[in-house]
């Protein structure tokens, strides 16, 4: 999917073992080639009968750009999963799912799981513009209400997902809010839901290396305790996350990533 200067890619990967076990909220760790890094990507969809798992990502760094160049029948060097704890799907009654940017892809399997359990599902989708909004039609099929918001007002309502969240929570009756997307958005969601006393789960997109808990790269402080997103998460109580620490850690390798991409473009 070419979205102007931004390229969003969907890969359908043949992996019968992972497809047979994958559940909402889990992810895979991928290596594009032998010398590449290992990155985590959420399982957006899976088909056990066909043995296929699907991921969606945006080409923003060195590895995602390599993955975006793959062609049908190409092979990955490594694929591990399903990793992380699956979403705790219970009877909450009314649930709001807030997804921002590529986080919309990650709430899709969760919305489907909550709907199958009998919950009333409201999906709030946010993007900078209409061109960057994804999976709206798919989410309409597994949700009772879908609201789209764009920063520039080019589609749906003009504004942010957190603006719509406030309006919905004032109506009352919601048992859970689930959020995934940019860290500032998830942080704001947790602040808003905290003021309403609504339980909130955030799927954290922390940096990971080995995805086994050995490297400690994805550590995050939750309720004063150090946790590892890869093995303890990726979902945590949003109102207990140390958001300042998480935001700082996620910026640690930004300069190095930009330097690598610059060298690659010059080659």
- 233 and 227 in contact (C-beta within 8 Å)? yes
| Percentage of residues of the chain with pLDDT beyond 90 | 71
Alpha-carbon distance 247 to 252, whole Å? 9
- Strands 157-158, 145-150: pairing is parallel
220 phi and psi, to 5 degrees? -145, 145
SS3 146: strand
pLDDT value at residue 216: 74
pLDDT value at residue 253: 53
Alpha-carbon distance 262 to 10, whole Å? 24
Using alpha carbons only, what angle is made at residue 186 by residues 9 and 131, rounded to the nearest 5 degrees? 35
Ordered by where they begin, the domains of the chain are 2-83 (2.40.30.10), 94-249 (3.40.50.80)
Structure letter (DSSP) for residue 224 = T
By C-alpha distance, which of 123, 124, 125, 129 is closest to 153?
Answer: 129
Residues present in the chain in total: 267
Mean pLDDT over residues 68-95, rounded? 93
pTM: 0.89
Contacts of 234 (CB under 8 A, 6+ apart): 25, 27, 84, 85, 203, 204, 205, 206
Q: Which residue has the higher pLDDT, 5 or 196?
A: 196
Instruction: Report the chain's mean pLDDT, rounded to a whole number.
Output: 89
Count each helix (H run) and each strand (E run) in the chain, helices first.
9, 16
Alpha-carbon distance 45 to 52, whole Å? 8
* Residue 37 pLDDT grade (very low, low, confident, very high; cuts 50, 70, 90): confident
The tens digit of pLDDT for each residue in 132-157 reads: 999 999 999 999 999 999 999 999 99
Answer whether residue 236 shows pLDDT above 60: yes
| Percentage of residues of the chain with pLDDT beyond 70 | 91
94 phi and psi, to 5 degrees? -115, 130
pLDDT value at residue 5: 64
């Amino acid at each position: 999917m070419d979205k102007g200067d931004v390229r969003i890619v969907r890969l359908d990967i043949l992996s019968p073992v992972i497809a047979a076990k994958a559940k909402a909220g889990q992810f895979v760790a991928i290596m594009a080639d032998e010398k590449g890094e290992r990155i985590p990507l959420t399982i957006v969809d899976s088909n056990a009968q066909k043995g296929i798992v699907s991921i969606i990502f945006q080409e923003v760094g060195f590895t995602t750009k390599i993955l975006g160049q793959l062609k049908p029948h190409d092979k990955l060097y490594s694929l591990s999963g399903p990793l992380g704890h699956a979403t705790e799907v219970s009877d909450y009654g009314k649930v709001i799912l807030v997804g921002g940017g590529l986080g919309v892809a990650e709430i899709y399997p969760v919305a489907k799981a909550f709907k199958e359990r009998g919950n009333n599902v409201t999906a709030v989708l946010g993007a900078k513009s209409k061109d960057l909004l994804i999976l709206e039609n798919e989410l309409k099929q597994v949700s009772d209400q879908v609201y789209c918001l764009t920063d520039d007002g080019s589609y749906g309502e003009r504004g942010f997902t957190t603006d719509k969240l406030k309006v919905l929570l004032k109506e009352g009756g919601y048992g859970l809010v689930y959020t995934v997307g940019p860290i500032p958005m998830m942080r704001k969601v947790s602040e808003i839901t905290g003021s309403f006393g609504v339980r909130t789960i955030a799927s954290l997109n922390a940096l990971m290396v080995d995805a086994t808990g050995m490297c400690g790269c994805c550590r995050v402080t939750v309720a004063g305790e150090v946790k590892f997103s890869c093995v303890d998460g990726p979902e945590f109580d949003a109102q207990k996350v140390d958001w300042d620490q998480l935001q700082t850690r996620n910026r640690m390798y930004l300069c190095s990533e930009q330097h690598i991409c610059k060298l690659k473009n010059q080659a």
